[in-house]
Structure 1
Amino acid sequence: MSTHHQSLDIPPTSVSSSSSRLFSNASNIAITGGQFTTVEPNMHGHSSDLQRYGLELLLKNISHGALYDAAERGDPPRCHPGTRTAVLQQIMEWIKAPEHLRKVVIWLYGPAGCGKTSIAQTIAEMFAKEGLLGASFFFGRAIVGRNDLSQFAATLAYQLMQPSPEIKEILLRTIEDDPLIFSRSLEVQMQLLVVEPLKSIQLPVSSPPRVILIDGVDECGPDGEAQTRLLNVLGVAAASLQHIPIIFLITSRPEAPVRFKFNTEPLQDLAQSIILNDYYRPDDDIRLYLKENFANNTFHQQYIKFPSEWPSDDAIEQLVAKSSGQFIVAATVVKFVNSPRHNPVDRLSAILGMTGGGSENPFATLDAMYSIILSEVHDIQRVLQVMTLLILGTNYSDILTTGVISHLLHCNILEVLIDMHSLLLVPPTHDSESVLLIHHLQLCDFLMDQSRSRQYFIDVNKGHTFLCQCWLDVILQLPLPKSPLNLQMCIQQFAFHCEESSNANIANQLETFSLLTASEKIDNPKDLYGDQWGIFFKIAEKHGGPDVLLRFEDELYMFFISRLHAYTPSLQPLIPALFCLPNRQELVVLLIRLDAVEFDGLRSSLLMLYDSHAQEGLEKEDSQYFFHNLFMQRQSSARNSEIDLQKSYEALAKVFIERLWSTLQ
């Protein structure tokens, strides 16, 4: 009897590399019947997950409000139709010039208020419509996320990848390879996230150039150091990309650090500059802007009968002269005159009738106009308090919503600012979560210069003292119903203004403050044991004197003991002894460094060692050694392993028991 085998020949091309490994080193293969299933790894799905992860990382590190069309910027300033045509045409011609005639950087600069941001916004919108806007970043001095360099490179990279799958693939692969890229230096981020992707796609030189627009370099960082660093990075990037159709359009005031960088290599050779001066005939543009904005005041035309020729040509010419080429003056005049709450004829007469001028102060006209506006404010003292907060609270400007300011100053801030819409960006009446913004920085300069603002002058030292008291009042009133303020936030700001105020004023504030009173508002031990309480001890040591420091130590220690008792009733027999312990200062130093987790560990250790002492007793230890050892350990490292922390708890607990037992005996 013979058996017939039906052989199946499998062509090599039909077997995947993974399948063929099953038959390696085999010969004369005969496969009869059966079914084979090849499972391939889903590399595409894995890649998609990595790309999604890379995109999520990127989105977490961009400044959403810095884009030209960001919702955060509201209705941004742009060139009024028919104005700025000469300078816009000049910029367009330079950008679209043949490759051998154009520079890789254009620097547009001019004094504050001359309209640089309006021009930048208009250019961004024009090139976006043509598909030639590569990226934009609008700096804002008082706006978190737009006033430093932490998110600059990532924001540019995100925009550059939007129209380009090639750049997107390169960029996301870079992030996948180095998920910590956003913690690297600005120089490294610009090279890997912006320069390398642009160089990799090899755009033809003949392609229309893409514009990377950066507005307000002078508003980056608190001083010239950040501006210098930014221009260093941009200079290196521009030099690397000068043979690629990319153009950087940069705007700024002519501040000293910025001028210096554009007058030295590499930007000196890479850039061409445009200064916004009389060459571009700003008076003609301002005249057109004023005429059309007054003529289009349709709101008042429904209720008021205007004079037949209002405003007169003479009035317009006076306003043009007062503007001195600064669009910010004209824009402020229009907002002031067209206020829906006032008669525009009367408001314009007030502006035209004001005095001011002279060569000594280039902002004399603007100052006189500020004085006119402030003179018509109903509650000027409250408004100046708001301005004090906005000017001196720049380190926490991102939390200064209308709701926070209302709680802090005990008023309805939107009602207080009803007459300030021509100078401030005030949110709608129903919006309590928007941040309050000043339209332009000259107002701050005006208010802080007594020779210019006179009765509206804001004294810096008195301002910090006032805000110190405001934050202290809120601390003592917490918790406030429907308030976004919390204890940690209030303590940080109170401490900030204490540090900025004079010694005498700080001492007065500390005399009225009680840690024990504030602690009564705390439900969670975590709110007590943290750096915010250490702030008070630092201030008291420096400014408050020994009496205040001793009182703070006693109050904190008493609260610690009461909290220990509340959380661990079984330790009640030790409470009297705890209040009698000598030399508590070292213990207080340690207590102000304990957070909630460590508090629980300390409490558990105390309970455990107390029980064991009652049963078996403990070895004698040198208490000073334990305090010194633990103090030095916490000074050198805020966090160690859990084992080291437990040793610290036990060491501190032993000191407790040692002192307690000696007291009880």
Structure 2
Amino acid sequence: MSILRDAKDTNVAGSAFAVAQGDGNVIHQTITTYRSGPDGIEILFKFISPDAIHDAEARFEAPRCHPETRIVVQEDIMTWGVPLAGAVQDPAFFLWLLGAAGTGKSAIQQTIAEKLDEKKIVAASFFFSHQFIDRDNEGKLAATLAYQIALNIPDVRPHVAAAVIDNPSVFTKSFEKQVEILILEPIALAIARDPSSLQYWPKLIIIDGLDECKGEDHRLSVLVTLHKCLASGRLPFRVALASRAELPMRDFFAPSGLGGSCTRIIELNESYNPGADIRLYLGSAFTLIRNKNKLELTWPPEAAIDKLVDNASGQFIYASTVVKFVSDETQQRPKEHLQLILDQAVISSAPYAALDATYTAILNKSVSPKESITTLRIALGIRLADFSRAGFCQLTASEIDSFLQLEPSHVERLFGRLHSLVIIPAGDAVKLKPYSLYHKSLRDFLAAPSRCGPELSVIPESIVERICAQILLSTGRLEKQQRCPESCPNFVHGDFCLVGKQQIIQFVEEDQGTRLHFHVPMHEALLNPDFNGSSLQESLLNLDAEAWVAERVRHRQHMQLQVMYYLVHNVVFGCSSVFQCGNICQRWREAILAKCANAGWDIPTFRKLRSLWAPPIGTTTSVPWRHALQLGSS
């Protein structure tokens, strides 16, 4: 029998009702819901990172342990997290799974999360990732954990919902304060109401890739806050955390560190015999490839497997990259690809020498390796300001293609042979998902000239120059498509669009621990006297200057025309003095002056003369660009 029949937006929290039926029986019902008004859990959902949860659709392609591999380390973790019946529980409430890049930490964490989730043991999970702006920091960690705890523990849910309603500004507070309001206080209220229910709750929180959370101070804040909560007993779970052995984790979990005495450490080294697991994985993967391509039973020879296992040196990322490359369905050349890998000479004893050689071989298969790498690094690092959310947003594959003016044929030429390294959205996914990497080790490789070598090394300045050039050739004002009608064809909107705010592009790239931030307000960076515009030269030579200018005049883009007028007067383009200008400068300035005059725009004579006398960009006497020419409609 239902009570409060047909009621709407009426919630009663923690009340007991006696319902009398016609036969005289009394049914006692306890309703644990929320107060009237909006649902706090629905509000909470708006502030979480759904893709960071282990069972998210976005983690469909996440690495997992191959069947029958990593058995011992999985058992060690699960025994720590959920002791066998009658066994004494390990007093350590932290577990730190550490290992070098590519040793399989994330695959183990993902596999553990899925296995224990089936047994209702996982209270919450969070997988950090350097590739996504809502997963490369701790900003949404507390909310995401609280959301899962609320869903997985019904006793806690109403109190989490109430906390969100009572504290609407909680999401602007520090990580520690968010944990207090969204997790600790609701758990305390639930336990106070029914202490016996605690024994039936899930036992484990899984956090992966803390080293991919930006900022050493922020990582330390997460560790200290979790330690405080666990040590006090207010957080009745265990936390399995995986990361590289970087700061501050290395100091925090050291014997003398704050978490040293309460942490079980599992290091993915030779003690877990990774070579045997890699051999098993390769044998199974090559059997599938052999059957699918109808190859002879003797392929690949045992000696090839031996060499790959030896090259891997315990790095599962090496083995998985080889398998992806050999099995690439877009090329269907398994024998050729495997032989290419085997032929790579590993002449260094560096930890990643074999992996680096493999990355080099695959990237060199691209039609234009440096162009592919430049485009890839732009796709991974570029962010566009989104003032409606007071931050920056990541660009989808479709938006990257639009911004860089890439046709499908261009995308195929750049990335068509890199499917084993790059996740390339297809179909409808291009409008929803960004370009991304299978593993962070590739980004580390590309950012280190000592590893990728001069043939594949692309300096950040070249990438920034390409971004600036693209902005210049696209439009005058930057704005992600928000208020323009859906019919507006522009990705980066200009003066003629309905948007009114000037926004900026940010280029962020991890470079051996340093985050490079590059802001582009309009075209200021292009007009810096130190700017080397050599990559623009070919574009400006081949571009139809009159058509480009006519389009800007038609849309009344004064700013862009002024910028271009000053930019072309550049020593890079052959201008050596006031009266000795190169072909690019002459052609573009003539087109701008002529089209503006034809449109009836006013160009004050003294401004025009001053611009003609201005020294070229690149000389020590260059004048500020804003004083070069002022265009205005009459």
**What is the TM-score normalised by the length of structure 2?**
0.70
- The residue number in structure 2 matching 1:401 is 397
- The residue number in structure 2 matching 1:185 is 174
Q: CA offset at residue 364 of structure 1?
A: 1.1
Q: CA offset at residue 44 of structure 1?
A: 3.8
Which shows bigger deviation, 332-341 or 230-239? 230-239
| Counterparts of residues 155-234 of structure 1 (less than 5 Å) | 155-202=144-191, 210-221=203-214, 223-234=215-226
Q: Structure 1 residues 375, 163: CA separation in 2 closer, same or farther (over 3 Å shift)? A: closer
- The residue number in structure 2 matching 1:453 is 452
- The residue number in structure 2 matching 1:390 is 379
- The residue number in structure 1 matching 2:406 is 410
- Where 2:152 maps in the other structure, the secondary structure is coil
Partner letter of residue 55 of structure 1?
I
- Where 1:388 maps in the other structure, the secondary structure is helix
1:288 and 2:280 are equivalent in the alignment? yes
Which shows bigger deviation, 487-496 or 329-338? 487-496
Q: Structure 1 residues 168, 345: CA separation in 2 closer, same or farther (over 3 Å shift)? A: same
Distance of 2:129 and 2:96 partners within structure 1:
18
Partner letter of residue 410 of structure 1?
L
Distance of 2:344 and 2:264 partners within structure 1:
41
Is 1:206–1:245's contact at 8 Å kept on the other side of the alignment?
Answer: no
Q: CA offset at residue 257 of structure 1?
A: 1.5
Q: CA offset at residue 50 of structure 1?
A: 4.0
Is 1:147–1:220's contact at 8 Å kept on the other side of the alignment?
Answer: yes
Distance of 2:605 and 2:524 partners within structure 1:
34
- Where 2:54 maps in the other structure, the secondary structure is coil
Q: CA offset at residue 245 of structure 1?
A: 4.4
Q: CA offset at residue 256 of structure 1?
A: 2.0
Distance of 1:41 and 1:459 partners within structure 2:
61
| Counterparts of residues 307-346 of structure 1 (less than 5 Å) | 307-340=296-329, 341-346=331-336
Instruction: Name which of 341, 345, 348 aligns with 2:338.
Output: 348
Distance of 1:521 and 1:193 partners within structure 2:
54
> Percent of counterpart pairs with the same letter?
29
- Where 1:331 maps in the other structure, the secondary structure is helix
Partner letter of residue 53 of structure 2?
L
1:422 and 2:415 are equivalent in the alignment? no
1:144 and 2:133 are equivalent in the alignment? yes
- The residue number in structure 1 matching 2:531 is 505
- The residue number in structure 2 matching 1:248 is 239
More helix by share: 1
Q: Structure 1 residues 315, 506: CA separation in 2 closer, same or farther (over 3 Å shift)? A: closer
| Counterparts of residues 446-525 of structure 1 (less than 5 Å) | 446-454=445-453, 455-475=455-475, 482-487=489-494, 492=505, 496=519, 503-505=529-531, 520=553
Distance of 1:234 and 1:333 partners within structure 2:
38
Is 2:251–2:257's contact at 8 Å kept on the other side of the alignment?
Answer: no
Q: CA offset at residue 174 of structure 1?
A: 1.4
Instruction: Name which of 48, 51, 73 aligns with 1:62.
Output: 48
Distance of 2:536 and 2:367 partners within structure 1:
34
- The residue number in structure 2 matching 1:544 is none
Q: CA offset at residue 430 of structure 1?
A: 5.2
- The residue number in structure 1 matching 2:75 is 89
Q: Structure 1 residues 311, 262: CA separation in 2 closer, same or farther (over 3 Å shift)? A: same
Q: CA offset at residue 297 of structure 1?
A: 2.0
More strand by share: 2
Is 2:446–2:452's contact at 8 Å kept on the other side of the alignment?
Answer: yes
Deviations 1:398-422 (A, max 9, x none): 1142442354143325413111110
Deviations 1:35-56 (A, max 9, x none): xxxxx99964898564634223
Is 2:153–2:201's contact at 8 Å kept on the other side of the alignment?
Answer: no
Partner letter of residue 213 of structure 2?
C
Partner letter of residue 412 of structure 2?
E
- The residue number in structure 2 matching 1:435 is 434
* Structure 1: unaligned runs, 5 residues or longer: 1-39, 540-546, 548-561, 563-574, 583-665
Q: Structure 1 residues 364, 271: CA separation in 2 closer, same or farther (over 3 Å shift)? A: same
Q: CA offset at residue 354 of structure 1?
A: 1.0
Distance of 2:261 and 2:36 partners within structure 1:
41
Q: CA offset at residue 504 of structure 1?
A: 1.8
- Where 1:296 maps in the other structure, the secondary structure is helix
Q: Structure 1 residues 83, 328: CA separation in 2 closer, same or farther (over 3 Å shift)? A: same
Deviations 1:494-534 (A, max 9, x none): 972577887521688999999998975769xxx999xx99x
Partner letter of residue 226 of structure 1?
H
Root mean square deviation, CA, Å: 4.2
Partner letter of residue 225 of structure 2?
V
Q: CA offset at residue 189 of structure 1?
A: 0.6
Deviations 1:589-645 (A, max 9, x none): xxxxxxxxxxxxxxxxxxxxxxxxxxxxxxxxxxxxxxxxxxxxxxxxxxxxxxxxx
Q: Structure 1 residues 103, 208: CA separation in 2 closer, same or farther (over 3 Å shift)? A: farther
Q: CA offset at residue 136 of structure 1?
A: 0.5
Partner letter of residue 243 of structure 2?
S
1:238 and 2:235 are equivalent in the alignment? no
Partner letter of residue 449 of structure 1?
A
- The residue number in structure 1 matching 2:18 is none
Distance of 2:303 and 2:363 partners within structure 1:
25
Partner letter of residue 505 of structure 1?
F
Partner letter of residue 296 of structure 1?
L
- The residue number in structure 1 matching 2:587 is none
Q: CA offset at residue 438 of structure 1?
A: 1.4
Distance of 2:257 and 2:554 partners within structure 1:
59
Deviations 1:226-265 (A, max 9, x none): 21121122122222337x6411111111112221222355
Q: Structure 1 residues 476, 84: CA separation in 2 closer, same or farther (over 3 Å shift)? A: same
Partner letter of residue 485 of structure 1?
V
